[in-house]
Chains A and B, each alone.
Chain A
Amino acid sequence: MELLQALGVGFSVALQPVNLLYCFAGVFIGTLIGVLPGIGPVGAMSLLFPVTFQATPEAAIIMLAGIYYGAMYGGSTTSILVNIPGEAASVVTCLDGYQMARQGRAGPALGISAMGSFIGGTASVIGLMALAPPLSKFALKFGPAEYFSLMVLGLTILIYLAHGSMLKALLMAAFGIVLGLVGLDAITAQPKLTFDRMELVDGVGLVPIVMGLFGIAEVLANVERQLRREVFDTRIRGLLPTAKDWLESRWAVVRGSLVGFFLGILPGGGAVISSFLSYALEKRVSKHPERFGHGAIAGVAGPEAANNAAAGGAFIPLMTLGIPPNVVMAMLLGAFMVHGVQPGPLMMAQNPGLFWGVITSMYIGNIMLLILNLPLIGIWVQVLKIPYKILFPLILFFCLVGVYSVSNTVFDIYLMIAFGAVGYLMRKFGYEPAPLVLAFVLGPLMENNLRKSLILSQGDFATFVTRPLSAACLAIALFLLLSPLLPALRKRREVVAMEEVA
């Protein structure tokens, strides 16, 4: 009954015309950037950050969330028709989706991918609704020690799942914390690492960092490689999967939705890892594993359901604990804060309209996406034909003007360019940007909770290990950090990391 009431509140917010418009804008832009390789959801969200300043908090978050889950839909179109993933979570869709397109079955591949995405996305919204209220109530019992340890665990999982060197990922997280601490001290108001620059007194902005590391650096990497792509030239017919297609993929969709949702809750690129795990799972349970890689429809349906379900699951830690599990959610946390809203256990009670409005908007957004990606697929095929040499100057330009319009200062443009160059070099030298950004957002929260815990415990570090939840989080984090020393676990981590790179 309580849930029905909450849903009523949510739909009354989500169905307001202005929120519907922002929801549509979000899923449309999400699909667009999902289709276009070279700019991911993080870059697009930071580009559109300024747009949200004019909007209400509900409209802003509804739009930014729409970009995220919309990108999951759009990414598969590029994977199927071009054999290049539109974004990282669609890498695995290339394997069988493109093969299906080559066999003249581009229509059913796109169809099952949109339907699988819809089912996965909707299932995750239901899961989010069911899990968020009890988790919020539970989180009310957390003190600063629990929050600090949870954030340490969140960062550690992200570092553990980073591809490549864990030491480098740890170093990036440490650097991210340092960047997050720039500005006035929260307690003494002393300037920290501001180098007497007025622009740094408020801290380093999230937008220049994200746009630099994910927008500019991505373009630089593509310019270096001369990205070529050819759209699979075929008439797309019969988008609706046949009864046989459904029979072959129904359980893949169910399994993908479950895997995606639960992995999405964990920090560290849930959408990417869940799509790979779903593919591996489908191959293992299939009676015809030899068909995988040669156009098996379950190899498209499962991962697509999984990456969309993961996108929904990722909202749980942010909305109930106020802790973002990945970079996209860190961007959303930034948007919440710009509007003076602190996500966390109290959000559901203090801002029920916003909390349930965002959740219910995802139902509506998923329906919009189904329409955008099935009957209107032709538009996206045309978009795919825009050459990158026309696209990249526009992406660069929108990064420049986007970052300027947030703060009206040229300093932030220079900052973004610097992070762009650093991000490009980081890719070259094998350093990952994701731990840096998440740590940048979590850094000030971690410092605040660490200092509060020490003040409350009269300087006794034992507070972190005598409180059961805090102790459990730190124990898991320590285990993950030391696990590379154990050969069997190191091997398993390398497999996951390799799959993510592939």
Chain B
Amino acid sequence: MKREDIGSSLFWLLLGAGVAYAGWDLGLGKLRDPGPGFMLFWVGLIMVGLSLAIGAGALRRAPGAAVALWAGSRWRKIILVVAALVGYAYALERLGFFLTTVLVLIFLFKAIEPQRWTVAVAGAVLTALAAYGLFNLWLGAQLPRGALFG
């Protein structure tokens, strides 16, 4: 975890510094009347301190005990799933709830752990119909019909 800890601590260091700056920028106020940036500033500084401590701890650790974080992981599948989710968000208000749901579910059923077409299509259509009934009709949520269907 040595390399990973150094990398992640750098990330948190930058984020903490950004938060502290944002707090400073918002105004710290006075101790008897703290401003809107007071808490952000101090929490940001704490983040900086903690990330420095994590990074320093990792630097002190002896190399060699490296753990292969990605060994044996099916990271391509992860990327496919995340891409499907982003695709869903992008298409939802353009293609509408029903079409987007069916397409993305078929993709997930086929691309990650491949199912038969009948299972994928039937599963996707039935789920979309059930969810439409549950969320739109029963709960009164306004699921988008899509720009294509007006």
Contacts and interface: CB of A to CB of B under 8 A. Distances in A.
Interface of A: 50-51, 53-54, 165, 167-168, 170-171, 174-175, 177-178, 181, 185, 187-188, 190, 192-193, 216, 219-220, 223-226, 388-390, 392-394, 396-398, 400-401, 404-405, 408, 410, 413-414, 417, 420-421, 424, 428-431, 446-447, 450-451, 454-455, 458-461
Contacts of A51: 139
Interface residues of B, number: 65
A168 to B, nearest CB: 6
**Minimum-distance CB pairs A-B, first 7:** A459-B31, A459-B32, A389-B113, A405-B141, A393-B108, A185-B36, A413-B89
B89 A389 contact: no
Contacts of A450: 34, 39
Given A405-B135, A410-B93, 17 more contacts: A170-B50, A175-B12, A185-B36, A192-B36, A223-B77, A224-B77, A225-B73, A226-B74, A389-B112, A397-B108, A397-B131, A408-B141, A414-B89, A421-B82, A429-B4, A447-B39, A461-B31
A390 B105 CA distance: 10
Contacts of A405: 135, 139, 141, 143
Given A404-B143, A405-B135, A192 B32 contact: no
A398 B1 CA distance: 34
A374 to B, nearest CB: 29
Interface string B121-149: 00100010001000100011111000000
A388 B112 CA distance: 11
A430 B1 CA distance: 9
Nearest to B30: A459
Contact of A190 (B26, B69, B109, B139): B26
Nearest to A439: B43
A457 to B, nearest CB: 8
Nearest to B32: A459
Contact of A431 (B8, B40, B89): B8
Contact of B89 (A175, A410, A460): A410
B10 to A, nearest CB: 12
A170 B51 CA distance: 10
Contact of A181 (B40, B50, B75, B82): B40
7 contacts: A50-B139, A165-B54, A167-B57, A177-B43, A388-B113, A431-B8, A459-B30
B88 A413 contact: yes
B15 interface: yes
A420 B69 contact: no
Interface in B6-33: 8, 12, 15-16, 19, 22, 26-27, 30-33
A216 B108 CA distance: 14
A430 B7 CA distance: 13
B136 to A, nearest CB: 9
B35 interface: yes
A401 B12 CA distance: 31
Contacts of A401: 97, 101, 131, 135, 143
Interface string B98-113: 0001001100110011
